[in-house]
A and B are shown apart, each in its own frame.
Chain A
Amino acid sequence: MIVRVLDIGIAGLLLGGIYALIAVGLTLQYGVARVLNIAHGEFIMIGAFITWSLYIIFGINPLLSLAICGPAIFTIGFLLYRTLFRRLRISSASPAAFEGSSMLACFGLLFIIQNLAILIWGADIKGYSYLAFPIRFWGQTFAANRLITLGFALAIGLIFYFFLTWSRLGKAIRAAAQDAAAAELMGINIDQVLALCFGFGALMAGLGGTLLSMSYKIQPTMGLEYTVIALIVIVLGGLGSIPGSFIGGLLLGLVGSIVTYIQPGLSLVAYYLLFMLLLLAKPTGILGK
């Protein structure tokens, strides 16, 4: 019995690490840039497929792909904000109107990215095997790639947290999150900061995708599920809070592994139900203010 609990708990942690990482990306995009990026999962998918292609075609080590995917997807995100969302932000009558129209535009992006991916890679499920050998500790066996995934997810999150807290740019981002208009008056180039934020969000998603592809099957339609997971996590952890995203991510990972243990077919149903209950109960976040 205890072994079972431990098993479920560790499986939840491994899952939760990834959830946390992709939620950090979304919390940056929604919390600071005010874009509720429904296409967030598509950036994860793109990251996963680029990694897969590099590994299958060129034999490039997936961990090396982190350094390729990250900058590439960051650039896509940055440019998207500079062109599309900046224009929407300027033409919107109010912040609420911007939130609504930018979210709809993201739904449009979702269709574009997903179907481009299908045209490039086909609609089938794909996967590859990398570092899939077992590691034993606490009397349990784990696939090495899952442990590495968790390690990298935590490390990336930690690095980013320190970057936000201590760097000049990080402070500008946090100022913009509090009040974009005031930050602009203080001499912060708000367009640049928001675009960087959106780019960083995409970067997190891309890295998450690379890590995911090492231990899970991937397909072009996988994005939305991860978007919803990221949404639940930021609602759990409080919007805009990076530590909150991590706690929320690990919590959701646990919930996921418990439900999967009881009734595997219901894990998505449970996620959506949890999501909707959270929206009704406390949309500003359980751990938030």
Chain B
Amino acid sequence: MDIARVISKRSSALWAPFLILILLASLPLCAPQYTIILLTTIFMYIVITVSWTMFSGPTGYISLAPAAFFGVGVYTSALLGLVLPLPAIIGIGGLASFCLALFVGALTLRLRGTYFVMFTFGLVELLLHFVLWWEVNITGTTGRVVPTVNNTKVFYFMLIIFVILMFALYTIRGSRFGLALEAIGQNEDAAAHTGVNVTMVKVITFAISAFFMGAAGALMATRWTYIDPKIAFNPLLSFMPVLMAIFGGMGQLYGPIIGAAIFAYLEEFLITRFPYYYMLIFGTIMVIAIVYMPEGLVGLIRRLLKSSTEGRHART
């Protein structure tokens, strides 16, 4: 009987994501446009947060570069939108970010923790101000128009990026590469002396995570129709994944997903009506999450569940 339960549990763990996925994929048939747009935004945040966690979770290096990689994707879309079909643009946007991350990673991943954070944050601001200067002084424009794609198509592509990301994540976790990554996070020196090319593993993971951010950026640009450097390289997009992952809890794979979904919904709800209140709430939750919820929402719920079941056991 125990075995039967284990099997059913395992198969439900396998089938549940598939069911949800099919449900999501069939949504555009019946749901209103508004829901589709909201879900696209939510999945964009999920993609960015999960790919951020892919690198920063196991290694402990806090990257504030997501906005840079996302922005590179956005500009790829703006530059090539008229020339190439959408899948090609998404791929190129991802690759451009991948290459940028290889370069940045090779330069910086030997830096100590805090310096790495500052550097990645500097990267976003540098790109933002450089592109801003370039557009005003060299090309003589401020913003660019991106050819639009219909909402349902954008939604499907975002879903595809998400599925590929999850697939990549699971493949890495189960592989020897993933084992090496985990080892680096726990003791970098020991990993190096056990034959792991520490720098290469870190740089490649950093670049893979950047690929997905770039791809998401290239796709989202088509939904915005008009972009400028301040939209493309919005530093807030660097903080969102950090907050979402910490808030959700990085110990479990679904922690960042839950965190991203909650915040994306909150943002949609608040940002148009009360932008400054939204940012204020954003900051407050960030501080509270860091100080009081070190294991995130998932960790908090687990602890509560555990203490409540323990309480019950104690009583019986």
Contacts and interface: CB of A to CB of B under 8 A. Distances in A.
A114 interface: yes
B133 A105 contact: no
A96 B117 CA distance: 13
Given A100-B62, A112-B284, A115-B283, A105 B290 contact: yes
Given A91-B294, A119-B276, A109 B122 contact: no
B113 A99 contact: yes
Given A104-B290, A115-B279, A96 B113 contact: yes
Contacts of A231: 118
A114 B284 CA distance: 12
A160 B33 CA distance: 61
Q: Which bucket holds chain B's interface residue count?
A: 35 or more
A231 B290 CA distance: 23
Given A87-B291, A279-B119, A280-B107, A111 B282 contact: yes
A265 B137 contact: yes
A118 interface: yes
B133 A265 contact: yes
B170 interface: no
A272 interface: yes
B279 A105 contact: no
B122 A111 contact: no
A222 B62 CA distance: 25
Given A107-B239, A283-B112, A112 B283 contact: yes
A283 B118 CA distance: 11
Contacts of B136: 265
Given A276-B123, A279-B119, A279-B122, A108 B287 contact: yes
Given A107-B239, A109-B287, A228-B125, A114 B246 contact: no
A140 B7 CA distance: 86
Contacts of A273: 126
Given A88-B291, A269-B126, A112 B113 contact: no
B242 A276 contact: no
Interface in B264-290: 276-277, 279-280, 282-287, 290
Given A118-B276, A280-B111, 4 more contacts: A108-B287, A115-B276, A115-B283, A275-B122
